[in-house]
Amino acid sequence: MAVFEYHGIFVASGKRTKGIRDADNVKVLRSVLKRDGVLLTQALEGKASGDESKFTSTLFRNAKPDDVAMMTRQLATLVMAGIPLVEAVGSMIEQVDKPDLRHALTQIRDNLNEGTAFAKALEAHPKLFPPLYVNMAAAAEASGTLEQVLDRLADFLESQSKLKGKVGSAMAYPALMMIISTVLVGVMMTTVVPKMTEIYANLDKALPWYTQALITVSKIVGSAYMLGAILATVLFNLIRRTLVVRRSAPKISKPGEVHGAEWLIASAFLVVIALGLAFYVESALKYVGGIGIGLVLGFLLSFFVRFLEKPEGQLWKDSLLLKLPIFGDLFRMIAVSRFARTLSTLLKSGVPLLNAMNIVKAVLGNARLQKIIEEAASEIREGESIATPLKRSKEFPPMVTHMVAVGEKSGQLETMLENAAKAYDSQIENRVAAMTSLLEPLMMVLMGGVIGFIAFAILMPLVNMNALGDMPAP
């Protein structure tokens, strides 16, 4: 079965339409569209069923969580209006503009027409519809509350996207300032300072310690050793990434398909740059030595990255993140907010507690807290309450464990979890706003201090010599 991107016209209204649909051939596609009241005008065949790369490449990007949230909200509105689910999904196909999401909805509609359950149809597209989405849909179908659950799911996805956007936008400015200051300092250290160093060498005068330190750092930064080390470190990890992608690629590839091609091209491009620079550096021997150092550093960095990718490495990294000053509390708040809101949403949708705990574990984004949730689920299975293992871990704030305990005793766990999520969302927003207001002037002071020190170290010897009348005549 092939996949087609088609263009057509609704016979009843004359309105143009387009979409993506699976069919054995164009003739079958024309018959299927005719049953839907669409006259086929053009069909572009993909390489194989399920191959989304041909159509996704037209926009160079896939659907984001915001797109899925918007689609879910619109789908919930249609279902609440009394439109059958199959027709509602079919209507969404015409509205979404992301090829991969449109393709997924097309397959879901076809599966629904064949009698497949909605949740089962969603399972075939885990990149767009994670386990949380699928389990809530399954619980909604079992309880007959699909409209309410879809609406609740849309609220959840929108709130998570909003929270992520706030944190990301707050961190964007400090990150940009850091990049600008790093580039500016690098340019000064590799261009301005070396020229001043030549002037000082001709004067044959003793320099202050801070000027000597600046000159030493400048020589290291602009040396062939440093250039070779940086290029070799980056190249080593590019090649490693290429090998990882190729090893994880399917054994059977389509004609002309090269897995990891972008990483392979980047590696080849960097090799050409490295070979070309060998003819322009001040010392080819130092350059080769720097490359050797870079290969060692690249190996060590690769080893460290592989360690972080393992479960024990993720646990070590995430435990360390939670202990960071200032940022550790923010990371904890974000994870706790996700825990409370996700668990509340799942329980309200009728998902069993143990299944909900397993789903929540996957959305926390912190291996340390995930391990705590996993241990808590095991204890709950043995008859323990939810609040007790969370409180024992000392990683969850007392307010959360107390609200969970009260919710369990009063039978209003979902409501208490939702209240906790709202409280922490508000705290996160206030904390991010405070950090942003402090980081901006702090970055300005830091950048100004570094540039000011460089200027002071460069100009102060000239000022002293001028005061003593030692400056040579122009």
Backbone φ and ψ of 19, nearest 5°:
180, -170
Closest CA to 407 of 343, 362, 336: 343
Q: Is residue 2 part of a domain?
A: yes
Q: Across residues 264-277, what is the average pLDDT?
A: 80
Q: Is residue 38 part of a domain?
A: yes
Q: Across residues 73-83, what is the average pLDDT?
A: 87
Residue 108: is its pLDDT beyond 60?
yes
Backbone φ and ψ of 41, nearest 5°:
-115, -30
Q: Is residue 234 part of a domain?
A: no
Q: Would you say 404 and 387 are in contact if contact means Cβ atoms under 8 Å apart?
A: yes
3-state SS, 219-244, equals HHHCCHHHHHHHHHHHHHHHHHHHHH
Residue 462: is its pLDDT beyond 90?
no
- Helix, strand, or coil (residue 406): helix
Q: Across residues 239-267, what is the average pLDDT?
A: 63
Amino acid of residue 233: T
CA pair distance 298, 237, nearest whole angstrom: 6
CA-to-CA dists, residue 147 to 81, 85, 88, 353, angstroms:
9, 10, 12, 22
Residue 44: is its pLDDT beyond 80?
no
Q: Is residue 170 part of a domain?
A: no
Q: Is residue 22 part of a domain?
A: yes
Q: Is residue 328 part of a domain?
A: no
CA pair distance 96, 73, nearest whole angstrom: 12
Burial (Cβ within 10 Å: 0-12, 13-18, ≥19) of residue 335: buried
Report pLDDT for 315: 92
Amino acid of residue 249: A
Q: Is residue 12 part of a domain?
A: yes
Residue 266: is its pLDDT beyond 80?
no
- Tell me how many domains the chain contains: 1
Residue 1: is its pLDDT beyond 60?
no
Report pLDDT for 468: 53
How many other CB atoms are found less than 10 A from the CB of residue 239? 18
- Helix, strand, or coil (residue 236): helix
Mean pLDDT, all residues of the chain: 81
Q: Is residue 470 part of a domain?
A: no
**Better-predicted residue by pLDDT, 50 or 100:** 100
Q: Across residues 9-14, what is the average pLDDT?
A: 80
Structural domain boundaries enclosing 10: 1-51
Closest CA to 232 of 145, 139, 296, 143: 296
Reported as a pLDDT band with limits 50, 70 and 90, residue 46 is low
Look up the pTM and report it: 0.67
